[in-house]
Structure 1
Amino acid sequence: MRIETGLIDQTDKKLSDSKAKKTRKRIKKSMPSSVVQRLFDTCKEVFGSGADGDVPSPADVERLRVVLDSMKPADVGLTQDMPYFRAIETEGAPPIAYLHLYECNRFSMGIFCLPPNAVIPLHNHPGMTVFSKLLFGSMHIKSYDWVADQPCATNDNLNPSYFQPPGVHLAKVKNDSVFTAPCKTSILYPNTGGNMHCFTALTACAVLDVLGPPYSDPEGRHCTYYRAYPYSSFAGNTGLVPEDGSEGYAWLEEREKAENFSVIGALYRGPKITES
């Protein structure tokens, strides 16, 4: 009896390929995922459920914070001697590099690489929950929340010379501190936690940002920049806030993006993120 060896060979090859695929899948599942992959998977779970723009539950916020708190520069392929972080002699603020990791309509992940003296001007995050992890370096962060129920001025508590220019609103200082890595992840919410903030690099530093949801002009989440004035800037404002706490308040005015603020896109070269 003649045996069709070609058919047997093909069958054996198919069986072999099938076994190889299953083996690769088992190996892939057994391999530990990278930290950045774990961050991505956690973001998908935290921001993937609920309505767009919903603030994650306290438990989900904690889950994501724990992953970010554990992250180090090497987890995203960064070292402090990279060109992004070199001091630059320039008349204005030095340019900032942005490494794009991922973005969808639910969340975005990216890293700001700041050389010494670089500044990210005061800006807002409308309708967003934001996680900022300082991977290395030292920076000053100043943040504000709007005073939702601004005290009304009356003849009893307001100087007749009081003047508040149009478009200027009262805000309360949330943070005015220097952060040095390693430190806890900063978290801000749509209306609390310091939704408007400014970063000033005291040394070269890198900040990993997770935004949920990301900026979107069509959906009304566009970035607005502000100029801050001391509370005492406007005559006659005595009485709007407690006198002994006036330093904890400021007046914010919308402004155009600063001309010397430059962010340059750069290629992320860290561990790959796999969408499953």
Structure 2
Amino acid sequence: MPNMTSPVQRLFNTCKEVFAACGPGIVPPPGDVERVKAALDDMRPEDVGLNPDTPYFRIMAAERSPIIAHLCLHECDKFSIVIFCLPASSAIPLHNHPGMTVFSKLLFGTMHIKSYDWMVDGSGGASAVLGNPQIQPCGVRMAKVKVNSEFTAPCETSILYPANGGNMHCLNAVTACAVLDVLGPPYSDPEGRHCTYYRDLPFTSFSVDGASSSVPEEEREDYAWLQEREMPEDFTVVGFPYRGPIITTND
């Protein structure tokens, strides 16, 4: 008998196995990372019941500040599977993913992605303590650009990790876009995994002994200072029901 399991069910089954023994800051083994990536690489918009003509794309695009739709396919304490639908010219501002491994599959559209990783000190640890030259008294912190490119579907799944791979990123929709994300583990305010937003400031905004001198002048466009901020007032995300193929959790 042929395997009639839907692609989204296969993705759920894979995530359930891969993230079972994981937790905050724990990255799945390389083989398991590839399993999730492979499941996402094969996903198409129709596999989750989406297409660029979905009515609420037109409704959201008509708003003064474009509204981004959030569809939750599944969420538990180990992982979540979600879709973000972005009208053309909308954006998800620069934000982080604390202790999380995140897989992102662009289902359709063209999107510009800019992502950063925190600079690390000479011992290889994160420069996260006050007094480090890569941290400023006003709270800004030096980061290095990981990605600054446009992507057009179909394209490979991108992966970011708790400490590298572009953990802080912003997404700008060049055209209407849909992004399928797997987050392991998901955000959780009670467990301290808050979504923090940032503004990025040019590297030349600050001059600090040790930080500035360590970056050659010709490479300074690849660095920035990130400063925490409140969620932008013009950023609006609205939850919509997921209407694609049903996921059986067997819980």
Same fold, judged at TM 0.5 (above): yes
Structure 1 residues 233 and 91, CA, compared in 2 at 3 Å: closer, same or farther? farther
Greater shift, 226-235 or 105-114, is seen at 226-235
Is 1:177 the counterpart of 2:149? The answer is: yes
Counterpart in the other structure of 2:161: 189
Structure 1 residues 150 and 242, CA, compared in 2 at 3 Å: closer, same or farther? farther
Is 1:144 the counterpart of 2:116? The answer is: yes
**Cα distance between partner residues in 2 of 1:199 and 1:165:** 28
**Cα distance between partner residues in 1 of 2:155 and 2:185:** 24
The amino acid of 1:272's aligned partner reads I
8 Å CA contact retained: 1:85, 1:205 = no
8 Å CA contact retained: 1:126, 1:222 = yes
| TM-score scaled by length of structure 2 | 0.89
Structure 1 residues 50 and 116, CA, compared in 2 at 3 Å: closer, same or farther? closer
Is 1:75 the counterpart of 2:47? The answer is: yes
| TM-score scaled by length of structure 1 | 0.81
Is 1:118 the counterpart of 2:99? The answer is: no
Counterpart in the other structure of 1:206: 178
Counterpart in the other structure of 1:167: 139
Structure 1 residues 108 and 150, CA, compared in 2 at 3 Å: closer, same or farther? same
The amino acid of 1:88's aligned partner reads A
Counterpart in the other structure of 1:239: 213
Structure 1 residues 59 and 236, CA, compared in 2 at 3 Å: closer, same or farther? closer
Segments of 5+ residues of structure 1 without an aligned counterpart are 1-26, 153-157
Q: 1:249 aligns with which of 223, 227, 233?
A: 223
Q: 2:106 aligns with which of 126, 134, 156?
A: 134
Q: CA deviation at 1:85?
A: 2.2
Percent identity of paired positions between Structure 1 and Structure 2 = 63
Paired residues, number: 238
Structure with more helix by fraction: 1
**Cα distance between partner residues in 1 of 2:80 and 2:162:** 16
Q: CA deviation at 1:133?
A: 0.3
Q: 2:187 aligns with which of 215, 218, 238?
A: 215
**Cα distance between partner residues in 2 of 1:176 and 1:219:** 31
**Cα distance between partner residues in 2 of 1:243 and 1:170:** 15
**Cα distance between partner residues in 1 of 2:50 and 2:96:** 27
Counterpart in the other structure of 2:61: 88
Query: Which protein shows a greater Rg?
Result: 1
**Cα distance between partner residues in 1 of 2:246 and 2:32:** 24
8 Å CA contact retained: 2:24, 2:100 = no
Q: CA deviation at 1:234?
A: 2.3
Counterpart in the other structure of 1:109: 81
8 Å CA contact retained: 2:18, 2:28 = yes
Structure 1 residues 220 and 240, CA, compared in 2 at 3 Å: closer, same or farther? same
